[in-house]
Amino acid sequence: MRAASPRRARRRRRTRAAMRRYALAALAGLLTLLPAAARADVFSSLSYGVHVSTIGDGITLEKPLLYDFSLRLATNTASVSQQLEYDGNPYTSTAKYNNIAVIADYRPYAGRYRISGGLVFGNDRVDNTARDENGTIRVGSGVYPAAATGTVTSRLAFDRPSIYAGVGTGTGLIRGLALAFDAGVLLRNGTPSAAATGPLAADPVFRADLARLRGELRTRVVVPVFSIGLTFRP
């Protein structure tokens, strides 16, 4: 068998080198055409921050999972009191928030705006304490001496997960630090209760009025939620 000439051997080596270059170029082009969601490692850093909201203040942790999808964990703690009139009697109403929100964020086209949805878990409640007016307290359909009723309270406890839906956006302040805004609603389903500390607590008529007071509490409520926070992204 006749050996290949040096010229032919060099031509073969050049052909093999060109094929390797073409293969590498094709692989690089394929990688650039892969969906952006497949390159989640670029967005895998954990961001954290603080926020204030209408359902409490706390910290926020956010973990990007895909190019346009992330998961947030937010804690909320607050206590807010107000004076109001309910069923013809003045009350001091105190909303107490102690919850954790697990929220998924979807950013269309990976932009700055997000659509959010999730669940809120915790021990949130609204405590109402009746205030006597001229020495009497109205409970249900009856009016009783404040000395006999003692302290009359009602409570709406949100011990079930609440559904959150909202939208949000943000803007950068300096490198790594951003300002975040969120607005949405919280769909809540509460458990009502009512009690009194005075001697009338054992009276059947008064107990019926307490039950009537408990039954008049709205258990399904829609709570508007607004939040602003500072987020640090390493």
Lowest mean pLDDT among 31-35, 173-177, 196-200, 215-219: 31-35
Nearest to 52 by CA among 119, 97, 94: 97
Calpha distance 142→153 (Å, rounded): 15
Fold of domain 37-232: Porin (2.40.160)
Looking at residue 134, what is its pLDDT?
83
| Structural domain spans, the chain | 1-33, 37-232
Looking at residue 140, what is its pLDDT?
86
pLDDT, one tens digit per residue, over 140-183 is: 888 999 999 999 999 999 988 999 999 999 888 888 889 999 99
Lowest mean pLDDT among 36-40, 200-204, 210-214: 36-40
What's the predicted TM-score (pTM) here?
0.73
- Sign of the alpha-carbon torsion through 78, 79, 81, 86: positive
Looking at residue 40, what is its pLDDT?
38
Question: Is the model more confident about 222 or about 12?
Answer: 222
The token pair at 217 is: 């509490």
The residues pairing with 188 across neighbouring beta strands, listed in sequence order, are: 221
Calpha distance 49→71 (Å, rounded): 14
Q: With a cut of 90, say whether residue 23 has pLDDT above it.
A: no
